[in-house]
Amino acid sequence: MSGGSGAGTAAADRIRAFPFPFAQDSYRYSTNLGPAGQPVQTSTGRWGDSVLHIDAGYAAELAERRAILGRDPSRMQVLPHMRPAAWDAMLTLMQELAATYPDTMALHREPAGRFRWTNRRRGIDQRFSYGDPSTLPQAPLAFIGDQVQEDIVLLDQREGQLFVDAGLVCFASNWSFGFDLGMSFLEIHGPVPRVHDTGVITRAQQLLLRLQPDVPYRRTNWSLAVGGHLDLSTETYPEWGPGRDRIHEVDDATFGAEVHLRVEVQHLLRLPETGCVMFLIRTYQLPLEVIAEVQPWRERLAAVLAELPEDMADYKGFTAYRNRAVDWLSDRAASGSVD
């Protein structure tokens, strides 16, 4: 949290816009879908005004994505039948960016199916012909993926189901985009506990199948994670996995700094030209030491973690240190060291 006034301002902005995900003292899986673009007030500020969100981490997160793709190009894949959807997604995201950040982003339609895209944050001024890859410096999904902090998944709709057939995913949380490519929505959620008995996944798919263009929806997802890494894909498990097995051995100060509440804000949009569903995943993280500074967050997170069923904690990957996290948060309240 140190490092000068700029770093302090960035940290304060990160707390103000953090999408704290709990409305009550317990948590169960649900469809958890609501209209996008509705701001949510929190104890520190608000979030959710727009589909896309650029913050102080923009340059660093895009640089990290480029580094990940450089090491592992399989994090972006587009099955051949999804190439039109990739163009559709790119143009849709450009329109969202231009509408949300008109001071720095602009999309102009020119004659003969040409466009001019300007992103002054990235120093980009690019003319292109829609559908013509020779007019872009990268494939369309790679080009726009280097300008948004969200991961992008494209789902094809056929035979009454949704299939993950394209995407650019560098910040997965304990899953693999490459492994899931080509799988159905129901298959991907097979390992999630409780959701099939309760019908949550079937209901979610039915809602997504009924999505209309220009009516985006959103939901949140959450977990605890160690180390603050954005890339928690199964491909990199040897880099981050051992940390969660050893975190119970560290002192309290290190525990509070290393264990993070990780929240995903997920947006779902029906693409207007191809009818595919675009699934955007934006990841936010705050360490427990920061969560503990906000009394309502500290108390609620402790209550949720204490009450969470064991199978859900195990699936989310923090069984080994769940009790320590509850005790750590409760001790901060008991000591009165933060309010």
Q: Which residue numbers are catalytic?
A: 219
Using DSSP's 3-state secondary structure scheme, residue 17 falls into coil
- Written as one string, the DSSP assignment of 93-120 is HHHHHHHH-TTTEEEEEETTTEEEEEET
- Written as one string, the DSSP assignment of 204-261 is HHHHHHT--TT--EEEEEEEEEES--S-B-GGGHHHHHHHHHHGGGS-HHHHHHHEEE
Residues 278, 267: Cα–Cα separation, whole Å = 8
Residues 268, 160: Cα–Cα separation, whole Å = 17
Residues 117, 107: Cα–Cα separation, whole Å = 5
The per-residue b/e assignment along 54-82, b for 16 or more CB within 10 angstroms, e otherwise, is bebbeeebbebbeebbeeeeebbbbbeeb
Residues 131, 116: Cα–Cα separation, whole Å = 14
